[in-house]
Chain A
């Protein structure tokens, strides 16, 4: 298959000599399939990697390579690809699949076999993709996924008949449960034959109705019995998409999450704080007075420790996002949000990356690849950083705990602290929506694009998948604490200890760090911030939560090193108005190098990240100024 113009669908495939096959071992195998059929789940099962999976179409937006190892030491590389309904592509993620499969990318050689994953509970429609993929002439294993679901809902298919119909081997698996994977591994180990001729001639793939007829013929030839409709999905939709109950349920869940970020996470937060304090105390007692002790206690424990205590609250948030994504509710949320999004010139599909941005803007900006319209996509990229990412949470949590007294607003359901946090999330969302409106009515104006989205059936989020999400998130968080935050803390500690006066450490105000802080002070004085906050604002350009570590280091140096109570220390430096202004500043400001870098990569120019940075910083300054004067 040297010069294969895949899409023009050669209708017959030559049968190679079966005898010579066992010699050829596979090196690179591509995983291809429609969206949300479980490709990444299978990829994770086979490679042991942890590519992100969730229950909505468009989770995977770029290719990812992993290795499958066999007992005899041999290895096959597996490339996981974004889902696609056909090989005629419309979005950037589909383009990736098309290009890899046809060998048109520089970074990935053309695969020498294909795992075609199809959702067995909806086989006839999913078979549409089989025609163009089989036409590629590569050895193909057709993997029918979600076997457990098919069984439970009383569907069935004759595998041997289907194999004859398609001229390719078939494996019936449940990737989520790890059932039936031996057949897949056997195929990968290189004993499989290229596709033979299909019984029913492959249709011209641009003629979709013909393809559909072909798929139906194949399905009936394989005695495919479609499973009963997913009753639970319909029951849940009857509630979640109910005109009255739907929005109320949504509101209730959101309130519960914000309340639990403060209430339910408290015991865990206290435990982590006690651990940080006690280990800091032990180190302080063990080390002799001196530079090393000062660096460790003020720099490391004061800086890194004060950020780490916010991990439990972040995990509560991630647990919620995980349930949202894995259950299939996210697609419904996009449906409900479409009308609102349409008013600002975007559509429901933009809503999915925006929800992901509550975790982190970087993957969210990648997720915009599923949006067909380029201008809509750029607009979504530009507004995504307004969504309250988890790096803002430590800043908010610290300031709210220090300045907002806890009072019940609606019994145990909602307290003032949770309400303030909710208010900040709403503020970010409103800024995003208003900015979208501005962009879509000016520089990114375009025709309305149709909103078309497949609704996945609801699935139970598995404990394993939720657990892995939290574990991975903790790792990312702790790695950042151990690199960026630790690095900044050490540099800051050094800058706060020089220049030495007569061999003595200067007062912080007179140190290099203090001097820089006092230089910017006039600029931020109108917002109610002093030079210490100024230092924090500068260090937080690396990543938002760094400000917490920075303040931890500064206060650690000023006060009693045994007592790292950031909350009471910061109360001396900010008024309530200033604290609110600081939170508003963080709600709007673009303080994240990784986000700017990914915006540059996804938009292909520095123009957009520069505009984004200038716009968001201006908005943050003006917003904080207004907040300070309103609340003082």
Chain B
């Protein structure tokens, strides 16, 4: 389906301000630190790829910015802002550059 003519989506850039997933703006990336969710919900999010240490990029959203699609581990997962706010990011200094 894709022939790489021009790389349309800009390479994700690190966020310097966000402390939760919900604070990432479109195109920004952060590294997941912990999930402040009930055990059951956390397990489910981890199964979808949101494990601590995972690089998460904010992508498109529904009109109004909520829910938003996040790219993690090769897939795209949509969630509401209230859930994204429970996924905490590592402080920016510990973010390593993307390969």
- In the bound complex, CA of A86 to CA of B63 (Å): 32
B69 in contact with A231 (CB, 8 Å): no
Q: Which of B1, B59, B64 contacts A152 (CB 8 A)?
A: B1
* Nearest CB of A to B45, in Å: 7
Q: Do A238 and B47 form a contact, CB below 8 Å, given A232-B1, A454-B76? A: no
CA distance A454 to B72 in the complex (A): 11
A451 lies within 8 A of B79 (CB): yes
Chain A residues, CB < 8 A from B80: 338, 342, 450-451
- Of chain A, the residue at the smallest CB distance from B2 is A231
Given A85-B47, A335-B78, also A455-B83 (CB < 8 A)? no
Q: How far is the CA of A451 from the CA of B67 in the complex (A)?
A: 8
- Find out whether the CB atom of A455 lies under 8 angstroms from the CB atom of B69: yes
Q: Other than the known A233-B76, A243-B64, what 14 A-B pairs have Cβ atoms closer than 8 Å?
A: A122-B75, A124-B74, A125-B75, A209-B52, A212-B49, A241-B62, A243-B63, A331-B78, A338-B78, A339-B62, A450-B79, A453-B78, A453-B79, A459-B1
Most A-side CB within 10 Å, residue of B7, B8, B49, B67: B67
B47 nearest CB across to chain A (Å): 4
Across the A-B interface, how many residue pairs have beta carbons closer than 8 Å? 121
A85 CA / B47 CA spacing, docked (Å): 6
Sort chain A's interface into a size bin.
Answer: 35 or more
Contact, CB under 8 Å: A335 / B51: no
Of A23-31, A222-230, A511-519, the segment with at least 4 beta carbons within 8 Å of chain B is A222-230
The 0/1 profile, CB within 8 Å of B marked 1, for residues 444-459 of chain A is 0000101111110011
Q: Once the chains bind, are A232 and B83 in contact (CB under 8 Å)?
A: no
Does B36 count as interface, using CB distance less than 8 angstroms?
no
Q: Is residue B61 contacting chain A, with contact meaning CB distance below 8 A?
A: yes
Determine if B91 is an interface residue (Cβ-Cβ < 8 Å): no
Q: Contact: B77 with A454, CB < 8 Å?
A: yes
Q: From residue A348, how far is it (CB to closest CB) to chain B in Å?
A: 7
Using A152-B1, A455-B77 as known contacts, say yes or no to A241 and B69 having CB atoms under 8 A apart: yes
Closest to B77 in A: A454
Chain A residues within an 8 Å CB radius of B47? 85-86, 128, 208
Contact across chains for B76 and A455 when beta carbons are under 8 A apart:
yes
Query: In the complex the two chains form, is B73's CB within 8 Å of A124's CB?
Result: yes
Which A residue's beta carbon lies closest to that of B72? Answer: A125
9 residue pairs bridging A and B, Cβ less than 8 Å apart: A121-B74, A230-B1, A231-B9, A232-B1, A232-B2, A234-B8, A243-B63, A452-B48, A458-B1
Q: Mark A424-460, 1 if CB is under 8 A from B, else 0.
A: 0000000000000000000000001011111100111
Residues of the B chain whose Cβ atoms lie less than 8 Å from the Cβ of A331 = 78
Q: Kindly state whether residue A247 has any CB partner on chain B within 8 Å.
A: yes
Distance to closest chain B CB from A86 (angstroms): 5
What is the distance, in angstroms, from A121's C-beta to the closest C-beta of chain B? 7
On chain B, the residues within 8 Å of A232 by CB distance are: 1-2
Bound-state Cα–Cα, A342 to B80, Å = 10
Residues of B within 8 A of A241 (CB): 60-62, 69
Do residues A338 and B69 form an inter-chain contact, with CB atoms below 8 A? no
- With both beta carbons as reference points, the residue of chain A lying nearest to B43 in the complex is identified as A208
